[in-house]
A = this chain, B = another copy of it.
């Protein structure tokens, strides 16, 4: 069982429900939507991400003989027989990755026979929640550090292997320059970056020997880690070494600071390097950085050319999870709505329209409306992505992530100015259309909390 693709990576209750649905013959078309409930104070918007992995999951969903054998001793034969042929044959509508969105706006809609649409819930949330979480965190650093090299350094403290990979992807998608995770570079075709660890310096007889070995081994691109013992003393050693290396035509491309007062050390090191005629040697900083520290360092004028963000990025440390949900909005042609305290949802199949103002193309407001017979002004954000279990067109291969990344960065430019700040901005206006409100009321007024959905063709 491959943990990354096994359909058993799901909640136990999905199988309980499936068994019951099959027993009752409840296999009519269901519509589920995935949305986020509210923004934490440190997020002014979210960046949709993870759709690529979600579609891949849906396209490849099937049970292996080994998985069926394991289930056989726990569930009845009707379920096992059904699962032998199980495939996802439904439709998917979604916001493209890199779209900026807000609470109450569905980012993905699944239309499929109820057992299928229900079963895919757990892994869809698992993928879309995490990548959206990290892309939304990364966007904040991208917005405050224009022109700087931003690198994901978080693999070691990401929550396992897939988190490390998807965090690298989500960070890049949101505008980062690359990652230190080699496998992410290999799988997603993004740039990878790396210097050395303190142990490399420690393992050598002295710092200068370590520096020289590294540069001679990687003359095209070497960044020297200079904080193992005494940062400024090490910078002076770099200058001396650079003179020697220059005779062989080798340049020291950069130095890395990883501890202490990074702003202060950067200023002192910059001066030492400049006085040593190493104006082109770049300063890279890392060590418990997040978007706020990056902003402070840049604002204070610290001469730092690039930043490595690790834990704060890969676990989204200030907000390690968002409140998102995947809810039934329609079944067998009837709109549905959950009314649990504090967790009520908008029923029916929905579309999100975004209005921009004319002169500068900035976003003005969104309207959440019914997909059918509820026309609104603006750009519809939700588009068809999969039909009958197969992906629709779309750019394929390695180029795709680059396109998404460019689009995400272009989208930031259309945000209202206050939303581009690290400060909490007033909420972006998201309106609920009158027909959608009317449908919600209609659903509530029916005694069984179900109503026919005249506006929602099957």
Contact = CB atoms under 8 A, between A and B. Distances in A.
A20 B214 contact: yes
A448 B183 contact: no
Contacts of A3: 4, 161-162, 165, 183, 187
A160 B54 CA distance: 12
Nearest to A320: B320
A284 to B, nearest CB: 12
A161 B4 contact: yes
Nearest to A339: B229
Q: What is the copy number of this chain in the assembly?
A: 2
A433 B258 CA distance: 29
Interface string A1-29: 11110101111111111011101101000
A155 interface: yes
A114 B3 CA distance: 32
A195 interface: yes
A299 interface: no
A424 interface: no
B338 A228 contact: yes
A1 B185 CA distance: 12
A342 B155 CA distance: 22
Contact of A328 (B10, B160, B199): B199
A204 to B, nearest CB: 8
Contact of A159 (B13, B17, B130): B130
Interface stretch (A94-102, A118-126, A235-243, A382-390): A118-126
A153 to B, nearest CB: 8
A341 interface: yes
B11 A155 contact: yes
Most buried by B among A1, A8, A20, A21: A20
Most buried by B among A12, A118, A192: A12
Contacts of A258: 340
A438 interface: no
A317 interface: yes
A326 to B, nearest CB: 8
A1 B161 CA distance: 12
A264 B227 CA distance: 56
Contacts of A159: 130, 158-160, 162-163, 166-167, 315, 320
Contacts of A160: 126-127, 130, 159-163, 165-166
A327 B198 contact: yes
A189 to B, nearest CB: 11
Given A11-B156, A32-B199, A160-B166, 12 more contacts: A1-B186, A9-B164, A9-B182, A13-B194, A15-B182, A157-B324, A160-B165, A199-B328, A202-B338, A203-B336, A205-B448, A228-B449
19 contacts: A10-B183, A11-B180, A12-B185, A13-B195, A16-B214, A16-B218, A17-B197, A23-B217, A125-B157, A130-B158, A159-B159, A159-B166, A162-B163, A202-B336, A203-B336, A259-B340, A260-B341, A316-B320, A317-B321
